[in-house]
Homo-oligomer: A and B are copies of this chain.
């Protein structure tokens, strides 16, 4: 029973007690969810039972905020996903890891190792780490320049891919009779010598089951889109309207084509924060219940972080100040800041209203409605050329994810758009993406030119 119709891809974006900034304050929430492994196992198994393609963890190597109003830390994502890999068998496991604050040899090895112990389910969301607070944990007085971070990320990927390819599949002989374990001619030094890295190789881990872990990217700045067109196989992105999502979709697909890649091999998954009620009124009441729990000081601090300024520049009942509307050139999250300005201008929002709109998903598309309305929105973006799937960002966890699974997934399934059972075993198979050819292997190189 092969699927005959283009299929939606769903990624469960998980975050402690939920994506809404006040989720931990709900009576049913576990406020210590961030370091409670049982919480994460429950979420992973919930998403796997529902046949999600993957689950995903955001991350950065610094405390997020002061901690006063929201959990400010979390388990290191590759460690957590490795633990979760032993409580699941099919769902893909995508971790955010910084290319700015890691060495390619160590990180390529860790990702390969996670791919091995999970049976081919590892994905890497490549981030360049925008924060000054992150830089200060790695000996830097200032964060590296935006363009420089992406230049480093690009070279990082070149090194990592070569390291993953450095063991040919046929390298290990294991010939007990002769005592020859491997063929050293099939273990390849990479001898990389570039502007950012000098790495000899080979890697000391066998090629991952997926060839390379799935490569994911989430920056939507100009530098980010260039990088995505070259390297990303899945893109997580934030858009407030169908039109902006469709623009982004067309832009990235055409950039991928221009980079010599098959646009269908670059999947685009916008985020959606669904507040689901059995009636629209119930959904609105649910969203209001979350909104009532917000602490404005927290939102102001987040807004100030986004714009690299001080919370005192904002007045709750006024619009964004003019110098913000003038779109200062930022070193940090350029695309997210642009999105916030656009939202504020389009809907003529006060700062207080902006904070309310950002509370659910930090700028991701928040949708309040019935299961049919949520499903219709997903289908219209999917069929209308704005998405290949969605990042499902439940406002509360596990309850919001469970509601999506119970009420929205059956509608998507009834339309034939989402799997009833996993067809494949690896993350790449769920996303319909082939294993990359090995650059050190002649017949693979031939294969590569066939499919590009």
Interface residues of A (CB under 8 A from B): 22, 24-27, 29, 31-32, 34-35, 37, 60-64, 66-76, 78-80, 82-83, 85-87, 101-103, 105-106, 109-110, 112-114, 116-117, 133, 136-140, 167, 171-172, 174, 176, 179-184, 187, 197-206, 293, 295
Contact = CB atoms under 8 A, between A and B. Distances in A.
Contact of A101 (B35, B103, B179, B205): B103
State the oligomeric state as a number of copies: 2
Residue among A61, A74, A82, A203 with most chain B CB within 10 A: A82
Given A63-B187, A176-B31, A184-B68, A76 B293 contact: no
The A contact surface, by secondary structure, is: loop
B187 A67 contact: yes
A206 B35 CA distance: 8
A197 B101 CA distance: 14
B22 A179 contact: yes
Given A83-B85, A181-B24, A187-B63, A200 B136 contact: yes
A182 B68 contact: yes
B79 A117 contact: yes
16 contacts: A31-B174, A35-B116, A62-B204, A64-B204, A68-B180, A69-B179, A72-B187, A73-B205, A76-B112, A78-B79, A83-B83, A101-B105, A105-B137, A105-B138, A139-B199, A179-B295
Nearest to A64: B204
B200 A137 contact: yes
A188 to B, nearest CB: 11
Contact of A61 (B35, B109, B114): B109
A69 B24 contact: no
Contact of A83 (B37, B67, B82, B205): B82
Nearest to A109: B76
Most chain B CB within a 10 A radius of its CB, from A27, A29, A137, A198? A137
A201 B182 CA distance: 44
Which are the 8 A-B pairs with shortest beta-carbon distances?
A31-B174, A86-B86, A73-B204, A136-B200, A67-B182, A79-B113, A76-B113, A82-B82
A251 to B, nearest CB: 34
